[in-house]
Chain A
Amino acid sequence: MGKKEVMIVNEAVGGGGDGKIQLKKQLGLMNGVGIIVGIIVGSGIFVSPKGVLLEAGSVGLCLTVWALTGLICSVGAICYAELGTCILSSGADYGYILQAYGNLPAFLFLWVCLVVLVPTGNAITALTFANYVLQPVSCKEEGPPQAAVTLLAALCITLLTFINCTNVKWATRVQDIFTCTKIVALVIIIITGLVKMVMGSTENFQNAFEGSTKEPGRFALAFYSGLFSYSGWNYLNFVTEELKEPYKNLPRAIMISLPMVTVIYLLTNVAYFAVLSPAEMLASDAVAVTFADRTLGVMAWVMPVFVACSTFGGLNGAIFTSSRLFFVGARNGHLPGFLATINMNKLTPFPSLLFGCLTSLIMLSSSDIYSLINYASFVEALFIGMSIGGLLILRVTKPELERPIKISLVYPIFYLIVCVFLVITPLTSSPWECLMGLIVIASGIPFYFLGVLWKKKPAGFMIMLRKVTILSQKLFYAAPEEQKEE
């Protein structure tokens, strides 16, 4: 269990090819882009780009919001480039919060990820996947049988966990392949839309700003929806330790991915509007599928397939990155030690992956996970704000840290302002959800005192813990990570 604050400092980039028991540096620039794009472009853009439209009220304002939110996320990502290259541990926000604010806030971040964010996120992505796979055999209105959906979601989570346990290369290849399929799907949508526009289908763009909302509250909600669709842009930072030449590849991956996603999102929305009227978009449960039904004729079936692939890839990325978070947390003594072990043959964080899989399956079997997602976004915004605030704090408290990328303070300050807005908007519009979110965060405090701070636990407990650790080690053939070379 944790004794001292862990100081994670910059380390020289070691080659990944030696035989040490550690997570190897296997991710190149393209893998990095694959992870960011793969996670951001989950199912959202295919399923429900209507949140923005609903609140914005007009096509023009809707597209503007998409562009602006992409820009804002890019600013956030620039901040994460500094954080990620300065604090080179995997686990992203966890590491940054730990450095800037100390143990308790970092533990709480870990806690929230563990009990809500990761399992609900994974469960919902898996359910979306299952729904789309079953689309061809399901009835239009009633949807596929629920039991089959849940089973398929569980199959998907376990299969991906298996792949991630077996081989990092496989996992990244899955990520690359499925990121490609979703880009292909979006390119199909974009090209189809552009063709329709050239053929004169532009009536939805006439007087594009007519009907724009004038209420600041709804404008804020439109923004909030937009930002939510970009969430995931910080996920590459969860795996920095496995990135080859992180100083080069982390910022590059960020700088390639975010403009790419922004452009893709914008064009996809333009394509949607070329074919569907705002009313039809709002009425559709799966905009991309409705779009395909309208335009692709006999090939319309490819769209549910692509959406399924996209969610599959998104889930893979989430499983990959979240296991690293638990791993790092355990390494720092915030979670039981066995979670920080690595299978000696496969060099994958076996126990941590299984742990994530287990929590996701538990969440899957609970009936109302969709209500949890309501406060997940609020909590996420809160912690991202803290991380970026941490950037400023670290500039003051630890000026000596090596910062390969040192950005202008304009960026973090700008993003902090956005975060304040992101946190305050839901506080006024849905205070109950926010309160629940805060309660979930606070519920980690007793666990922190019991699990982390309380050093003199009863001997019996310590022995049992050790036995469990050893059992898991033997079972998974997993040893703790070896220190990297000095």
Chain B
Amino acid sequence: MADNGAEKEQIQDPEIGDHELDDSKAKFINGGNSLDDTRVVVSGRASPSTPVFTGLGKDELKKYADDPFWVRLRWILFILFWVGWLAMLVSAIVIIVLAPRCPTRPDLRWYHKDVSYNVYSKSFFDGDKTQDGYGDLEGIKQKQSYFEQLSANTVWLSSILKTSPVDNDRAVVDHKEIDEKFGTVDVLRDFCKKLMKKGKRVIMDLVPNQTSKNHTWFLMSQKKEGKYADYFIWSDAANNWRRKDGSSMWVQDTVRNQYYLSQFDDLPDLNLTNPDVIEEFQKIIQYWAGAGISGFHINDMEMLAENDTLANESERGKETMNFADNAIVIDSLKKIVDGLDNKPGREKLLFGTLTMADIDNIKMYKGQDGMRGLHMAAVMLDQLTVGISAPDLETKLEPFINASSSSWLGWRLTTPMSGTDRVFNRVGEQRMIAAHALQALLPGSSLPYYGDELAMESGVKVDKKTVTPMQWSKEAHAGFTTGTPWLAVNVGYEQKNLDSMTAQLGDNKMMDSFKALNKLRSSESLQFGKTMFCSNGDLLIFARNAEGFESFVVVINLGGATAHMFMGDKCVGERDSAELVFHSHVMERANTQLNLNNAVSIGGDEVLVLKFAA
């Protein structure tokens, strides 16, 4: 710190007595070649325009350069600085080393997290100027804020393709064209893009099992033109394959003078093991993905492939439903979807619904033996019925929970095409919230069907479809259209409609709980946590827990009377307090602390969700 090679020169210290050091030691070194002493002027004194500096000048100060006291002090401070610095560094490292390990998070895609709201397009909302009584894309666009209220990030459009006859959703006449009453591809493209920018998505139904009799493929096939000859399944003789209603699956064609296979309504069944047909669907899927569609639901997925030996079946459906070759078709379709633009955030979804959901089927559709499988197997949550008891329901649900450890499920309460009733008709008003809770909180994605959040009834069925118009308000035709609806609105819509169920002073239990349950799904444990059942008496109880995150216990009272839950219960363990995050009947009780030392009472049909700290 000293100026080296300088000559000694004593300078009078004006600050004698300022410190206890002997000043004689403070003799100072100055001058030398490095410093040009003669030109040194201390600024404060030299220029009258500069404020006076009251401290020491340069020359006075130089004495202290080598002064042992100050040198030592400087060294001590220097060392202290680094000691302190290193101490801080060490403690920072210690804090990091001691910090708890990060909980693992699986790499979830949008379809694992999103609630995908399924609309039957013709029945959702008539929003265009013509008011033709058919729901349309314009109407869906206008109801975007409604999807947001429901925390539904994905809209699932059912039945938008151009069909002939018009009202038969299975009779697709052009897979790249949408029904003109619904809108145009350009409008759809624009809609998808706008949603995508907000991080939301549109998915749609793919109808690969059969076509309309007016589809050009069939017309060419009838004439045995080139590759089209084998687009459908033709046979000279009918075998014993029967449809659900008992009628034969074979339809005689007078043009080709052969029978063609038809599983629904005399519609010709596509030969999906034919690579040419798969190539057609490659173009179709690429076309819709290009228009901004993020996912495809395979309609009638269980019926895609049949035994190509056309052997008689010993039992109805054995050779035609969930037939082993279906895995090959799924493999080809999945390969197409995997070949699409799957950049992060733009991953495409391929999924289908199992009406006969058993574990073997789930395994098949999720891909085994090196075959590509679906991203998600949607299953009907039809285990919950009016009278089922908690232990019975648990027994029925448990296999799915175990299966889902290796495959991702999606839960549907109502499907339009299966011919079954809406969930309301199956479980009754009392158990609607329980049904919604299971849909939202069981492991897997939630795929609600429009209107179920209002507990809509099946109403009039068209070709066994549960597709009556959405009940928006108490106005004429439930506010669905100002024209004449294509299908009569359910009776009783004046009481049961969105307006009345969200009115300020009304009974909003149904809608409020539906929204609240969907919101809960943002928690890690409910997205990917393990599931454990521990039902007790009338109470269906299950826990969802992801290591390192807040965990949840869902309690559903399936009995009519009040039941109690106690600490020490398998799902609760020894934890003595929880936060009540959801109460189906008394919403005000949500977000309060529960003391589990006292028994928790759960009224009949009530649903409670308890949250425990990580």
Contacts and interface: CB of A to CB of B under 8 A. Distances in A.
A101 interface: no
A477 B61 contact: yes
B356 interface: no
**Chain A interface bracket (under 10, 10 to 19, 20 to 34, 35 or more):** 35 or more
Contact of A280 (B56, B57, B345): B345
Interface residues of B, number: 58
Contacts of A155: 85, 88-89, 92
Interface stretch (B38-46, B237-245, B249-257, B330-338): B38-46
A338 B559 CA distance: 82
A373 interface: no
Nearest to B196: A277
B5 to A, nearest CB: 13
Contacts of A481: 43
B198 to A, nearest CB: 5
B96 A6 contact: no
B427 to A, nearest CB: 36
Contacts of B58: 21, 344, 479-480, 482
Interface string B31-61: 0001110011111101111111111111001
A18 B36 contact: yes
A162 B194 CA distance: 52
Contacts of B193: 207
Interface in A342-368: 344-345
B96 A162 contact: no
Contacts of B43: 331, 480-483
Given A19-B36, A139-B102, A482 B74 contact: no
A195 interface: no
A315 B588 CA distance: 50
B198 A345 contact: no
Given A19-B35, A280-B345, A345-B1, A332 B51 contact: yes
B600 interface: no
A469 to B, nearest CB: 4
Interface stretch (A69-77, A78-86, A146-154): A146-154
Interface SS majority for chain B: loop
Contacts of A6: 49-51
Given A147-B95, A279-B196, A474-B61, A340 B53 contact: yes
A337 B54 contact: yes
Nearest to A294: B344
Contact of B56 (A207, A275, A465, A473): A473
A475 B89 contact: no
A483 B46 contact: yes
B567 to A, nearest CB: 29
B99 A148 contact: yes
Nearest to A474: B64
Interface in B80-103: 81, 85, 88-89, 91-92, 95-96, 99, 102-103
B399 interface: no
B77 interface: yes
Given A6-B49, A337-B53, A474-B61, A482 B40 contact: yes
Nearest to A2: B51
* Interface core residue of B43, B50, B62, B89 (most chain A CB under 10 Å): B50
A316 B597 CA distance: 57
Interface in B152-196: 193-194, 196
A470 B92 CA distance: 36
B8 interface: no
B146 interface: no
A333 B44 CA distance: 11
B61 A344 contact: yes
Contacts of B34: 19
Nearest to B85: A158
Contact of B64 (A18, A140, A162, A477): A477
Contacts of A396: none
A147 B52 CA distance: 45
B65 interface: yes
B15 interface: yes
Contacts of A474: 56, 61, 64, 67, 70
B204 to A, nearest CB: 19
A294 B95 contact: no
A3 B345 contact: no
Nearest to A154: B88
B105 interface: yes
A159 B85 contact: yes
Contact of A470 (B18, B35, B105, B198): B18
B73 interface: yes
Nearest to B292: A203
* Interface core residue of A155, A159, A279, A477 (most chain B CB under 10 Å): A477
B545 to A, nearest CB: 17
A354 to B, nearest CB: 10
A289 B91 CA distance: 27
Interface string A31-58: 0000000000000000000000000000
Contacts of B65: 344-345, 477
A151 B85 contact: no
B197 interface: yes
B54 to A, nearest CB: 5
Contact of A482 (B42, B85, B199): B42
B129 interface: no
* Interface core residue of B34, B85, B96, B344 (most chain A CB under 10 Å): B96
A3 B49 CA distance: 8
A28 interface: no
B39 A20 contact: yes
A475 B61 CA distance: 10
A482 B41 contact: yes
A477 B1 contact: yes
Interface in A449-486: 462, 465-467, 469-470, 472-475, 477-483, 485
A148 B64 contact: no
A404 interface: no
B462 to A, nearest CB: 38
B49 A7 contact: yes
Interface string A319-337: 0000000000001110001
Contact of A279 (B42, B67, B74, B197): B197
B440 to A, nearest CB: 21
A341 interface: yes
Contacts of B95: 145, 147-148, 151
Contact of A151 (B53, B64, B88, B99): B88
A107 to B, nearest CB: 13
B99 A145 contact: yes
A481 B345 CA distance: 60
Nearest to A206: B193
B88 A475 contact: no
A144 B96 contact: yes
A483 B41 contact: yes
B77 A3 contact: no
29 contacts: A1-B52, A4-B48, A4-B51, A7-B49, A18-B36, A20-B36, A20-B39, A21-B58, A140-B105, A147-B95, A151-B88, A154-B88, A201-B343, A275-B343, A277-B197, A277-B199, A279-B198, A333-B51, A466-B54, A467-B18, A470-B56, A472-B55, A473-B64, A477-B64, A478-B61, A479-B57, A480-B43, A482-B41, A485-B39
Interface of B: 1, 3, 15, 18, 34-36, 39-44, 46-58, 61-62, 64-65, 67, 70, 73-74, 77, 81, 85, 88-89, 91-92, 95-96, 99, 102-103, 105, 193-194, 196-200, 343-346
Given A4-B51, A277-B197, 5 more contacts: A155-B89, A279-B199, A294-B343, A475-B73, A483-B43
Interface of A: 1-4, 6-7, 18-21, 134, 137-140, 142, 144-145, 147-148, 151-152, 154-155, 158-159, 162, 201, 207, 211, 275-280, 283, 293-294, 331-333, 337-338, 340-341, 344-345, 462, 465-467, 469-470, 472-475, 477-483, 485
